[in-house]
Amino acid sequence: MRIYAILVYLFLYIPIGIIALFSFNAGRHAAQFTGFSLQWYGTVLSNPFVIGALKTSVIVALSSAALATLSGTLAAVALQGVRGRMRAFYDALIYMAVMVPGIVIGIATLIALVTVFDVLNPMLSGLFGEGAPRLALGKGSLIAAHGLFTMALVTVIVRARLQGMDRALLEASSDLGAPPMRSFLQITLPQIAPAVLAGFLLSFTFSFDDFIIAFFVAGSETTLPIYVFSSIRRGVTPEINAIGTMVLVASLLTLVSAQVILRRRAR
Amino acid sequence: MRPGLRTALFLAPATAWLLVMLVMPLVVVIVFSFGERGAAGGYVPAFTLDNYANLGARWTAFRNTLTLAPLGTVLCLLIAWPLAYFLALKADPRWRTVLLILVIVPFWTSLLIRSYAWIQILGGSGLPRIIADLGLGKPRLINTPFAVMVGIVYGYLPLMVFPIYVALEKLDRRLLEASGDLGSPPWRTVLQVTLPLSMAGVATGSMLVFILLMGEFLVPQILGGGKVFFVGNALVDLFLQSRNWPFGAAVAATLVAVMLVTVTLYMRAIRRLSGGRDDVALM
Determine phi and psi for A25, rounding to 5 degrees.
-75, 135
Q: Mean of the per-residue pLDDT values for chain B?
A: 88
Q: Is the pLDDT of residue A242 over 90?
A: yes
pLDDT at A3: 94
Buried/exposed B203-216: b ≥16 CB within 10 Å, e otherwise: bbbbbbbbbbbbbb
The model's pLDDT over B129-155, given as tens digits with 9 standing for 90+, comes to: 888 888 888 788 889 999 999 999 999
> Is the confidence at residue A14, as pLDDT, over 70?
yes
Query: In chain A, which residues have their Cβ closer than 8 Å to the Cβ of B121?
Result: 14-15, 18
How far is CA B167 from each of CA A57, B155, B269, rounded to the nearest angstrom? 36, 22, 18
**Which tens digits make up the pLDDT trace of B188-209?**
888 888 888 888 899 889 998 9
Least confident of A58-62, B99-103, B104-108, B219-223: B104-108
The answer to whether the Cβ–Cβ distance between A212 and B218 falls below 8 Å is: yes
pLDDT value at residue A69: 97
Say yes or no: A249 contacts chain B, CB-CB below 8 A: no
B100 in a structural domain = yes
| Inter-chain CB proximity A151 and B17 less than 8 Å | yes
pLDDT for residue A267 is more than 60? no
Please state, in angstroms and rounded to a whole number, the distance separating the CA atoms of residues B141 and B137.
Answer: 12
- Check residue A31 and give its pLDDT: 64
Answer yes or no: is pLDDT of B274 > 70: no
Minimal Cβ distance to B21: which of A14, A111, A145 = A145
A244 touches chain B (CB under 8 A): yes
The residue-averaged pLDDT of B95-122 equals 89
Q: CB–CB of B280/A151 below 8 Å?
A: no
Return all residues near B27 (Cβ < 8 A) that are at least 6 apart.
none
Flag whether residue B160 sits within 8 Å of chain A, measured between CB atoms: no
Provide the pLDDT confidence category of residue A265 given band limits of 50, 70 and 90.
low
- Inter-chain touch B10–A78, beta carbons under 8 Å: yes
The predicted pLDDT at position A93 comes to: 94
Ranking A25-34, A70-79, A127-136, B40-49 by mean pLDDT, the lowest is A25-34
Q: Which residue has the higher pLDDT, B47 or B270?
A: B47
Q: Which residues pair with B44 in a beta bridge?
A: B36
* Separation between Cα atoms, residue A66 and residue A62, nearest integer Å: 6
Q: Is the pLDDT of residue A28 over 90?
A: no
Q: Is B36 a member of any domain? A: no
Residue A50: per-residue pLDDT: 95
pLDDT at position B275, please? 56
- In this predicted structure, the answer to whether residue A9 has a pLDDT above a threshold of 50 is yes
- What is the pLDDT confidence band of residue B283, given thresholds at 50, 70 and 90? very low
Dist CA A60 CA A64 (whole Å): 6
Task: Specify the pLDDT at position B279.
Answer: 44
Q: Is residue B45 part of a domain?
A: no
Find the mean pLDDT for residues A232-238: 82
Residue B35 lies in a domain: no
CB contact under 8 A, A216 and B114: no
Burial of A110 per CB tally in 10 Å (0-12, 13-18, 19+): buried
Q: Among A78, A156, A212, whose Cβ lies nearest the Cβ of B217?
A: A212
Q: Dmax over Cα atoms in chain A, in whole Å?
A: 72
Whole-angstrom Cα distance, residue B95 to residue B97?
6
Given A15, A112, A225, which is nearest B121 (Cβ)?
A15
CATH of the domain at B77: 1.10.3720.10
Task: Examine residue B170 and state whether it is found in any structural domain, yes or no.
Answer: yes
Q: Which chain A residue's Cα is nearest to B5?
A: A78
Res B101: pLDDT: 86
Query: pLDDT class for A70, splitting at 50, 70, 90?
Result: very high
Q: For residue B29, give the chain A residue with the closest CA.
A: A108
Average pLDDT on A247-252 reads: 87
Residue in A12, A72, A145 closest to B106 by CB: A12
Mean pLDDT of B76-103: 92
Please answer yes or no on whether A29 and B125 come within 8 Å at the CB atom: yes
Higher-scoring residue by pLDDT: A82, A146: A146
Q: Note whether A49 and A195 are within 8 A (CB).
A: no
Cα separation, B123 vs B117, whole angstroms: 10
Residue A51 predicted with pLDDT over 90:
yes
Instruction: Specify the CATH number for A47-266; select among 3.40.1260.10, 3.40.1800.10, 3.40.50.720, 1.10.3720.10.
Output: 1.10.3720.10
User: Residue A82's closest chain B neighbor by CA?
Assistant: B7
Task: Give the pLDDT band of residue A169 (cuts 50, 70, 90).
Answer: confident
Question: Which residue(s) pair with A36 in the sheet?
Answer: A25
Examine the pLDDT at A95 and tell me if it is beyond 90.
no
Task: Tell whether B189 is covered by a domain.
Answer: yes
Q: The domain containing residue B269 runs over which residues?
A: 58-274
Could you give the percent of chain A with pLDDT greater than 90? 57
- The pLDDT of A173-184, averaged and rounded, is 84
Residue % of chain B over a pLDDT of 90: 53
Cα–Cα dist B133/B12, whole Å: 64
Q: Which helix (H) or strand (E) holds B162?
A: helix B145-170
In the three-class reduction of DSSP (H, G, I as helix; E, B as strand; rest coil), residue B92 is classed as coil
> How many CA atoms are closer than 13 Å to the CA of A99, on its beta-carbon side?
20
Domains in chain B, number? 1
In-domain check, residue B7: no
Task: From A237, A233, A234, A209, select the one nearest A223 (Cα to Cα).
Answer: A209
Of A146-150, A230-234, A255-259, which gets the smallest average pLDDT?
A: A255-259
Out of B113, B118, B255, closest to residue A247 by CB:
B113
Asked if residue B1 belongs to a domain, the reply is: no
Q: What are the chain B neighbours of A145 within 8 Å (beta carbons)?
A: 21
